[in-house]
Structure 1
Amino acid sequence: MEYRFSNPVSPSRYDSKGLIADIPVRKNIFSEAEYVGSIRAQEDWNVLVAPIGEFNGGLDPELSFVSVSIPECLPERLEIISYANEFAFIYDGKQALLPLASESMNETLELFLQGATTGYINPQGSGKNKIQAQIFNEMVAIDRPRALVTMKAWAEFLQLTSSRDRSVKFDTLDEYIPYRVWDVGQMLMFGLVTFGMGLTIPENDIERSTEATRSAFAVIALTNDLFSWERERDAAKRDNMPHVVNAVWVIMGQHSVSEEEAKQICHSKIVELVQDYKRIVEQYKKDESVCLDLRRYIEALQYNISGNLAWSLTCPRSVPRGKI
């Protein structure tokens, strides 16, 4: 993959904790556009939905989320991608506080389906609806075909998410990982990356792309769980929840180990999955029978792994993605 819009970040600026092997962190050289998009999303939420209060979102003085997780995002698309991503962070963080949360999610699904089928979202109704319309209509103005694909991917994510049983308890990590891979936003990121980088994945290759990148999203999910464990454990205790939807909790039960031992097992599993994904990236780089954009997408997601880690370490107070 050609690197035109990003530079490598010095390893001295973050401690990888031995989790990402030799995958470098790269940062988009037009990262100021992420600040514009993210702040605009926060301001729109404040005005159209409700005051956010104390909220960090994806921004960080050094390594903001989109700039390091999609480092090759096209410069003219970085602002709207950041706006959409910040909306997702806010939505994740505020969803439980909104009245009739499941109805709110279903309403969002209807809007995404409307965009995917008609190519337009009417900016009517609630403030949240107006923000979603803003996202889609700005994307359509830049690249209509890929915006439609993105809306379809996001609708697919919400269709499954809205029907999930959030009270389910997992007995093993092998049972838990597929659940969290989807929950962490595999199809949301598919939409952000393909639109942001201007990639076209043929319809008959989308399922293949989902399968090929599963270990990458498993890494991201387990990394988020590892770094958010204490906060989620304490929240579960406060809310009298019977279990915690977190890999550390699952590992503690599966292996009858302490928190610290479970965290080490989680760490080791992340390292194993990173090596799995590195092999997949190398495999697809050499496979010229696969379309170029699919190969570029698979390669790009290794920077989602390293960027997510670097951002998680430098901006630990933000809401972890995928806890709707």
Structure 2
Amino acid sequence: MAPYTSHPVDSACAPAFFSLFPVISCEPDALPTIQRALNDTIYSCTTPGSKERRKALYRHTNPAGNLFSLAFALSETDRLRYVAQFIEFLCILDDSTENMPFEEACTAHSIIRQALTEKYVDENNGGKAVGMMKNFLNNLCEELSGLDDPSTVTPLLLKTLDRSLRDRDSDDSEFVTLAEYIPYRRTNFDHDFVCQLLRWGMNVKPEVQESPLLRTYELINGAIVGLTNDYFSWEMERQQPTDRIRNAVPVLMTEHGISELPAKAMLKEVIIEEERKAEALKTRIMAELEGDEQVKRYLTGMDLFAAGYSFWCATCPRYHRPQKE
């Protein structure tokens, strides 16, 4: 099926936005589908009055645009719902585990991974939110497995999600250089899964992923979106109680012996340079794989994902007017 109708977004209305990529949105056509998906996910994965539910609801109060209409605008109409549910699920999981002690967070991820096994048992884990999330994920996966999808894309999608849940918060190291931090940031952002979900949502054929150049492009894209999140979320994250800070700003402060403001300015330049690398690599890929419409669509989808996510980060109340607990 075709995507919802999209239109260009005038990013000049967001002074904080600095991405080199264009922004589009599939609002307003897709908004009812997205809102139903969000309501189903939020109310299935959080308890009334909980911090996680308040955060989830606040996350989607951005008057400049919805996260999913901006970042996944090319998803097909019958798949955007699932894209929104998977990403919102991971956002809620992140909110739930970021303040947990490291070992407790690892345990929570292990419990939720049970939803992806064939021997799944419906347990509520003492009524805790982790049990609600596990059951929600299992129901979502069962629904996906019933879709008429003759390709191997859906099983690969779920396999990648399982690996992402295993790895996303499995390192409690204190990073001292940006070079060693970026691979962790991509993993913690679930970027391999996001790439699979982007392909799945756009119905891009699975053989596209076999290109080494495209894999390199994915890695650059992962650095861009992960570091963009760090740039805009630092003011919120720096005040959170946690036994591990996962943000490029303090990494750059440590690596270069500088204070917060120069570190943020340096991070912005790093992101822009990564976008320039992406543009140069895109030109090379299109020259070497001329005429491959699947590749062209996927590259466009990754660019729009990075730009839409950056625009949302630059405008959302979550990062610019932090919610009171």
Q: Which runs of 5+ in 2 are unaligned?
A: 125-131, 321-325
Counterpart residue number, 1:111: 115
Q: C-alpha distance in 2, partners of 1:206/1:159?
A: 25
3-state SS in 1 of match to 2:318: coil
Q: Distance in 2 between matches of 1:289 and 1:32?
A: 37
Provide closer, same or farther for how the CA distance between residues 204 and 296 of structure 1 changes in structure 2, counting only shifts above 3 A: closer
CA contact (8 A) 1:45 1:51 kept: no
Over 3 Å counting, the alpha-carbon distance change for 1:313 and 1:203 in structure 2 is closer
| Structure-2 residue corresponding to 1:260 | 261
1:227 alignment partner AA: F
- Cα deviations across residues 237-260 of structure 1 (Å, max 9, x unaligned)? x45x5x732111111111111211
- In the other structure, the counterpart of 2:127 is none
Quote the residue 1:322 is aligned against: none
How has the CA–CA distance of structure 1 residues 247 and 36 changed in structure 2, closer, same or farther, with 3 Å as cutoff?
same
Give the stretch that moved more between structures: 261-270 or 121-130: 121-130
Q: Which residue of the partner structure matches residue 179 of structure 1?
A: 184
Aligned to 2:238, what secondary structure does the other structure show?
helix
Once the two structures are superposed, residues 21-69 of structure 1 have per-residue CA deviations (whole angstroms, 9 ceiling, x without a partner) of 2x11111242321111011111112469977442223563441111111
The answer to whether the Cα contact below 8 Å between 2:44 and 2:133 also exists between their aligned partners in 1 is no
1:165 paired with 2:168, answer no
Give the TM-score normalised by the residue count of structure 2: 0.82
Scaled by the length of structure 1, the TM-score of the pair is 0.83
Q: Aligned runs of 1:227-306 on 2, under 5 Å?
A: 227-235=232-240, 238-239=241-242, 241=243, 244-288=245-289, 292-306=293-307
**SS across alignment from 1:317:** helix
Structure 1 partner of 2:105: 101
CA distance in 2, matches of 1:206, 1:48: 46
State, as a whole percentage, how many aligned pairs show the same letter.
21
Partner Cα distance (2:161, 2:90) in 1: 11
1:119-268 paired onto structure 2 within 5 Å: 124-126=122-124, 127-144=132-149, 145-161=152-168, 164-166=170-172, 168-202=173-207, 205=210, 209-235=214-240, 238-239=241-242, 241=243, 244-268=245-269
In the TM superposition, residue 103 of structure 1 has moved relative to its aligned partner by 2.3
Instruction: Flag structure 1 segments of 5+ consecutive residues without an equivalent.
Output: 320-324
Distance 1:292 1:49, change over 3 A: farther
Structure 1's 234 and 52: CA in aligned 2 closer, same or farther, altered over 3 A? Answer: closer
C-alpha separation between the residues in 2 aligned to 1:311 and 1:204?
Answer: 27
CA RMSD of aligned residues (A): 3.0
In structure 1, how many angstroms separate the alpha carbons of the residues matched to 2:256 and 2:100? 37
8 Å CA contact 2:4, 2:73 repeated in 1: no
Letter in 1 for 2:112: T
